[in-house]
Amino acid sequence: MLTLADLRKTYRTAEVETQAVDGISAEIAPGEFVAIMGPSGCGKSTLLNILGCLDRPSGGSYRLMGEEVSALGEAQLARVRRAHVGFVFQSFNLINDLTVAENVEIALLYRRPGHSRRTRIAEALDQVGLAHRARHRPQQLSGGQQQRVAIARALVSDPQVILADEPTGNLDTANGEAVMSLLKRAWEGGTTIVMVTHSSRHAAEAQRRIDMLDGRIVGETGA
């Protein structure tokens, strides 16, 4: 499903060149649950942004669902994101001026007609236990509830892959476990999960763990 070959991402300023991703080659199969770990600044989030077509690599190859996406333009990357990828971010990335239902709907605006959108939004919110909060706004919810809305937004378009960047990082233990339970349920339903985390406990719940350091893969455990 996701195939990386000598993938690189370089950031340059007038004085400094930083190799955020340094020659990574890896494969993630359909239906896998993969956790990526490493210290801050090791390139985990940069790699995740490339996997989600939010950023382009400086070199190497990245194939998503068999399509080479490493050199696609912005419009083409947006098409691939809409077709295949759901995102969950540590900071939730909800829009405070929109209701919970409207935040979830954002993922469907270019994909489904209005009637089917409403049905799918209701189903996604029910999946995360927040159907009764559909008309509330994000600031009226707890952090754990906001992250569950973010997961509903990721799930609503039935993506083949969900990319989660520190999805439990801003949550207490109980809410973190609830979020992990939702991600595992999506995985058990056939969705591929790639999760960046600092939590060894949560990484242990994945099928496979990839360890990064200085932009490179330095270890791998699991299937």
In the chain, % of residues over pLDDT 90 = 77
pLDDT of residue 222: 84
Average pLDDT (181-208) is 95
Sequence-distant (6+) residues with CB within 8 A of 56 are 50, 70, 71, 72, 77
pLDDT digits (tens, 9 = 90+) for 128-181: 999 999 999 999 999 999 999 999 999 998 999 999 999 999 899 999 999 999
Q: Which of 8-22, 75-89, 99-113 has the lowest mean pLDDT?
A: 99-113
| Amino acid code (one letter) for 66 | G
pLDDT of residue 113: 57
pTM listed for this prediction: 0.92
Tell which residue, 193, 1, 11, has the closest CA to residue 86. Answer: 193
pLDDT of residue 116: 80
pLDDT of residue 110: 64
Name the DSSP letter for residue 106: G
pLDDT digits (tens, 9 = 90+) for 100-140: 999 999 988 766 555 688 899 999 999 999 999 999 999 99
Average pLDDT (44-59) is 93
The pairing of strands 192-196 and 161-165 is: parallel
Whole-number mean pLDDT of the chain?
A: 92
In the chain, % of residues over pLDDT 70 = 97
Find the largest Cα–Cα distance for the chain. 54
pLDDT digits (tens, 9 = 90+) for 55-74: 889 999 999 998 999 888 88
Range of the domain at 42: 2-222
Report how many domains make up the chain.
Answer: 1
Sequence-distant (6+) residues with CB within 8 A of 129 are 148
Name the DSSP letter for residue 84: H
Q: In what order do the strands lie in the sheet with 67-68?
A: 17-28, 2-12, 59-64, 67-68
Sequence-distant (6+) residues with CB within 8 A of 110 are 82
- Terminal-to-terminal C-alpha distance of the chain: 16
- Give the CATH number of the domain where residue 206 resides: 3.40.50.300
Tell which residue, 195, 199, 205, has the closest CA to residue 88. Answer: 195
